[in-house]
Structure 1
Amino acid sequence: MSSSPAAHSSSSDSGSSQPNTPPLRLENIIEEHHKATLPHSADALPHDAQLHSVDALPYVADALPHHPADISSPSNLPQISTTTMAPNNRSRGRDVHIYDINDPSTVLGGLLLTNGVTNTNFYSMVEILFLFQSDFELRDEGDARIEKDDNPLRPGSYYIHAAKPFLINDEPWLLRTISVATGTRVQSFCDTIRSRDGRCVISGKKAVRAYLDIWTGFEAAHVFPLAYEGHWTQNDYGRWITIPPQSGGTISSVQNGMLLDCTIHQLFDTYCLSINPDDNYKIVYFTVDGENLAGKYLDQQFRDDPQRPIDQLLRWHFRQAVLANMRGAGEPTFEHDFPPGSDIVGDILGGPKAGERMEFELFSRLAAQVECNVSSA
């Protein structure tokens, strides 16, 4: 295996930084991207994911570093914390592992491989996970260069060869839990989604009892969560909406929702499943595919519907899924099945990211009742 970074790149989307290039905001990446990869350069970083300075603290999954990171050397890139305890993150079961060739003993991330993930898809995921200042390529354990093509990705270890040091993308991950809120805003949204879809748009399962107004097993899902309406407003995501709802703000538009089977809804809300709008609306699983859907595509009925969820929001969700499942050890997963008499608040406060989870639960319920314009942390 070569120990020197490769100067040649397999991707034309990742170039050297230009000093006079204006910063590229995350919402512009989501809005304007039309390829299977998401470009990054040192001067074209997504919003909320700025290049770390020498005195900045790098992202490390669920760990607070004690010393500033010096980015002048690849050996000082953020390290992934390890533990002897059973993980509550998403690293369990991974069969794809990502390394920097200059530090081949430190795992930077990984993937539980499912059907449909190609080499091209993997390159696009890597470009979401890391911020590159130069061209890069991926090589396998035998030092063979991985082509950017439609061949299926194989399990194994992959090494990033880059001419310059790169950083782990610290773009924020917006925590979501399995929590079905009720309220006047949600009911109006739900009725509109049911009327448009009449089926789970991911699995294709028909709501055969809909004519009796029985929707058992089906739920209207927000692509961008209602609990983060403050974030939505602050970043002006409503500018993408062309079909505003009669009431409730642009986040409640039919273009921010779809009808899902209840199991699919849980997988979607926890970022275990997503849709890649830049690969013909491919269904991508980041966990074990118990529904036999990984690698399939949303049907033509979905694509042709002028009221369907917009690509910008599907792209936002896909980026979040990549960050949640592949960055470092992955983000934590949460218990949601609380039997009667359980100390729900105590369990939440004793678990990971307790403050963020409590905030999400609060704003989910509040936003279901009234329009909120406060910022979410």
Structure 2
Amino acid sequence: MHPINRSAGRTVHIYNTNDPDTVLGGLVLTPGVTNSNFYAMVKILFIFSGPFYLRVENGARIEKDDNPLRPGRYHIISDASFDVNNEPWLVRTISCASGSRAAAFTEAVRSRDRRCIISGANVYTFDGVDFWNGFEAAHVFPLAYEGYWVERGYGRWITMQPTIGGSINSVQNGMLLASDIHQLFDAYDFSINPDDNYKVVVFRPNSRVVGDQHLDPTYFSRPDAPVDSLLRWHYRQAVLANMRGAGEPVFEHDFPPGSDIVGVILHGPKAAERMEFELFSRFGAQMELFS
């Protein structure tokens, strides 16, 4: 079972005008992406040493405005040099961490949100009992990479420390999502851009999340809300994973009974990173018992 890559279905392609035969990246164009959004994405994808602008293949310059981006071939025009941004993206599949640390995190997120913040679906309550089936507390920055979190000092963004679990398990690193939407978020199929009025940007079309919606800014103004710096980190990861080069792999997570899961992972791309993530996600609770 070989994973497809994220270039499948791209309708926007990016080139260096000095090398028009080499595709540097691209985008599956979804509703709501504007010219201004595209410029911001390009600034994540590449490291520029001077000013640049974008031009369509027929020579028309693209302005940084709110007009919808159109499908096509776009050329980067710059008198200065620029390089592809090789910043790593963290391989992430479907996370379902458990254990006492994750339980405390889940309770804090449930208490604050009580609804999927993307779809707006409310948790059903009957006779004083909450029914949480179909909802999951999602980490914006994945718990499986806590070492990376500590190494990079991302805990500096957290102002509300949890009573258990370290800064990565703060409610400010979480949000309540419908279970299937959580899968899409973990897979970088969509993200939230805090620098565009909390706009939902869809990178791979799906049946659950629609782009071109802005989330309620009053939610994110709460002192215990997911912090902008972490949403910005996730958005950068989504841009790099979906738009860079020939396209990063899309990993399968729905394995039929009897599947050789380990074999599929070890013989696929980014095997070491994916195995590390899968082991933590599947056995994190047991490992916590012995730590």
Q: TM-score, with normalisation over the residues of structure 2?
A: 0.94
Aligned-partner residue type, residue 165 of structure 2:
G
The answer to whether the aligner puts 1:216 opposite 2:133 as a matched pair is: yes
Residue number among 141, 144, 164 corresponding to 1:227 in the alignment: 144
Q: Which residue of 2 is the match for residue 298 of structure 1?
A: 215
- Distance across 2 between alignment mates of 1:219 and 1:292: 16
Residue pair 1:223, 1:313 contacting (<8 A) in 2 also: yes
Give the direction of change, closer, same or farther, for the CA distance of 1:228–1:134 in structure 2 (3 Å limit). Answer: same
- Distance across 1 between alignment mates of 2:146 and 2:154: 10
Aligned-partner residue type, residue 113 of structure 1:
L
Residue number among 169, 183, 200 corresponding to 2:85 in the alignment: 169
- Distance across 1 between alignment mates of 2:76 and 2:197: 27
Q: Which residue of 1 is the match for residue 160 of structure 2?
A: 243
Residue number among 40, 50, 55 corresponding to 1:139 in the alignment: 55
More helix by share: 2
Residue pair 2:45, 2:243 contacting (<8 A) in 1 also: yes
- Distance across 1 between alignment mates of 2:131 and 2:120: 17
- Distance across 2 between alignment mates of 1:302 and 1:362: 34
Q: Which residue of 2 is the match for residue 360 of structure 1?
A: 277
Q: Which residue of 2 is the match for residue 317 of structure 1?
A: 234
Q: Which 4+ residue blocks in structure 1 deviate beyond 6 angstroms?
A: none
Farther off after superposition, 286-295 or 256-265: 286-295
| Runs (5+) with no aligned partner, structure 1 | 1-85, 372-377
The answer to whether the aligner puts 1:347 opposite 2:264 as a matched pair is: yes
Trace 1:250-329 onto structure 2 (pairs within 5 A): 250-291=167-208, 293-329=210-246
Residue number among 97, 103, 106 corresponding to 1:187 in the alignment: 103
- Distance across 1 between alignment mates of 2:56 and 2:207: 29
Identical aligned pairs, as a percentage? 65
Aligned-partner residue type, residue 135 of structure 1:
P
- Distance across 2 between alignment mates of 1:335 and 1:305: 36
Aligned-partner residue type, residue 61 of structure 2:
R
Q: Which residue of 2 is the match for residue 158 of structure 1?
A: 74
Note the C-alpha offset of 1:207: 1.3
Residue pair 2:202, 2:209 contacting (<8 A) in 1 also: no
Aligned-partner residue type, residue 102 of structure 2:
V
Give the direction of change, closer, same or farther, for the CA distance of 1:96–1:311 in structure 2 (3 Å limit). Answer: same
Note the C-alpha offset of 1:166: 1.2
The answer to whether the aligner puts 1:337 opposite 2:254 as a matched pair is: yes
DSSP-derived class of the 2:195 partner? coil
Q: TM-score, with normalisation over the residues of structure 1?
A: 0.73
Note the C-alpha offset of 1:260: 0.2
Note the C-alpha offset of 1:354: 1.3
- Distance across 2 between alignment mates of 1:103 and 1:142: 16
Q: Which residue of 1 is the match for residue 113 of structure 2?
A: 197
More strand by share: 2
Residue pair 2:98, 2:284 contacting (<8 A) in 1 also: no
Q: What per-residue deviation string (whole Å, max 9, x for no partner) do you get for residues 114-144 of structure 1?
A: 1111111100000000011111100002100
Give the direction of change, closer, same or farther, for the CA distance of 1:370–1:232 in structure 2 (3 Å limit). Answer: farther
DSSP-derived class of the 1:345 partner? helix
How many residue pairs get aligned? The number is 286
Bigger Rg over Cα:
1
Query: RMSD across aligned C-alpha pairs, in angstroms?
Result: 1.7
Residue pair 1:201, 1:302 contacting (<8 A) in 2 also: no
DSSP-derived class of the 1:284 partner? strand
Note the C-alpha offset of 1:365: 4.5
Note the C-alpha offset of 1:369: 6.0
